[in-house]
Chains A and B, each alone.
Chain A
Amino acid sequence: MRRAPHAQLLAAAALSCLAVACSHVRSVYVADPSVSPGEHEVKRIAVAAWAPADHPALESVLEAVAGDYLKLRKNYLVQEAPAASLGRQGWQTLCQGKVEGVLFVRALRAQLKGHAPAEADLSLSGELYRCHDGALMYRSEGSLLRRDDDKSLRQMRAHYAEALGEAQGSYVPCAFSLLQELLRPMPDPRLTEAELEEKIELGAGTRVGAPSELVATLP
């Protein structure tokens, strides 16, 4: 049965409101295409992060989670970073070798409240810089508050905690959920056949951590 036009509009408006209400992203900036001429398109990127000194465990979480998301869901050819805590050296230091751009994740605010369960309150920005001229290609910013015992991300937290350290685990559910929202709107580069092969060779997915356990299936 076909719905009345006004009912469809109402449904669309309600869905839009719901989407905005559910989003934890405050702002998104995407560079004008003219700023990104084809010959300097950013495809090979490195990922770095910065967090306040009183949250030393957060940087490695942000780097790992953001890098893993881009490897799995975006076409970027993510180059392995040579060392941790790269954010303190500035993103420009990563513009070496094949690297054409740097995704820099910054913790604008970080709070960890309580213990077992802890609650992470993060405000993050993600910025993609082009190495060629330092142009800002993408920026997004958002906040999220989330407990670290989130049942829907229990195994994922365990994987990262095993790979990075237990101190990092408390940030993982919050960082994982927020970074996905922040990076989802990021424009994807178009890869050539040769680059596609390179991407496939780089593999998808992520850390080597602890064996996990099944939690649930899709509804």
Chain B
Amino acid sequence: MRHAATLSRLLIVGSALSPSLALGAPQPTPPPSGMAAVASATSAPAKALGAKAKKVVGTLVNAIRYDKRPVGEAQLGWATMAEHLLGPAYAQMGSAERSQFVEDFRVLLVGTAFPKGHDLFAYLDGVLYGSVREQNGRVTLPSTIVVHRNYKKTEMKVDWVLATEGDGLKVVDVVSMNDSTCDGVRDEEVAPLLKEGGVAKLLGVLHERAQATRKGAPK
């Protein structure tokens, strides 16, 4: 279960702020309501979009596998994730505060989730991508991850959410078992800190954890 939780948040944002965040019981995951397939799954635009999304996710997966952190970092939409995680507080923050949040969050995520993802390659048998769906500028690439453990193969569904940021599509969330990693981090980690002490408290705690991660002692 621990591996499943880590894998599902693997290349993602989850364990950055909350390494111990656990997933709930497995449940079948229907496509999100209102999520329309892009034209037809076999149409040329859908195929092109699918190829782009697969390329970004595949590069991220390989970057983590080979421990090429800068390449992996470049596949993530940091500003988009920050805006989502911070919610209404994002609008109240100055550019310096936003930059500090993104930088510390990046250190925390790359320093904790990437190594965990790297270790999980020992159990990985397959990553299979489905047809992309698009809604409100966000592209969802469904995938099935096949892992083996104790001579048993198991499948997990993981949806990669991408959005356009900077020079192209970037991964901005990962949804596993209907559980958005970004929503989980926002609701269980960021929001309580904002409620407790506002932006200053959040940035202080985040910076402290980022510093600890830099020193090789992730919390």
Residues of chain A whose beta carbon lies under 8 Å from any beta carbon of chain B: 22, 68-69, 72-73, 152-156, 159-160, 162, 176-177, 180, 196-197, 199-219
**B residues in contact (CB < 8 Å) with A:** 1, 3-5, 7, 23, 26-31, 41, 47, 50-51, 54-55, 57-59, 61-63, 65-66, 68, 71, 121, 123-131, 133, 142-144, 146-147, 149-157, 176-177
CB distance from A103 to the nearest CB of B (A): 17
Mostly, the A contact residues are helix
A200-B155 in contact (CB<8A): no
Q: Is B177 in contact with A200, judged by CB distance below 8 angstroms?
A: no
- Shortest CB-to-CB span from A130 to chain B, Å, is 25
Chain B interface SS verdict (over half)? mixed
8 Å CB contact of A204 from B3, B7, B47, B65 = B65
Instruction: Say whether A196 contacts B28, CB under 8 Å.
Output: no
Residues of B within 8 A of A72 (CB): 124, 126-127
Is the Cβ of B149 less than 8 Å from the Cβ of A206? no
- Check B157–A200 contact: CB distance below 8 A: no
Q: Are A156 and B130 in contact (CB under 8 A)?
A: no
Q: Please tell me if the beta carbons of B150 and A206 are within 8 angstroms of each other in the complex.
A: no
B130 adjacent to A209 (CB under 8 Å): yes
User: Which residue of chain A has the shortest Cβ distance to B8 in the bound complex?
Assistant: A217
Q: Are B154 and A152 in contact (CB under 8 A)?
A: yes
Minimum Cβ distance to chain A for residue B160 (Å): 11
Asked if B129 and A153 make an inter-chain contact with CB atoms under 8 angstroms apart, the answer reads no
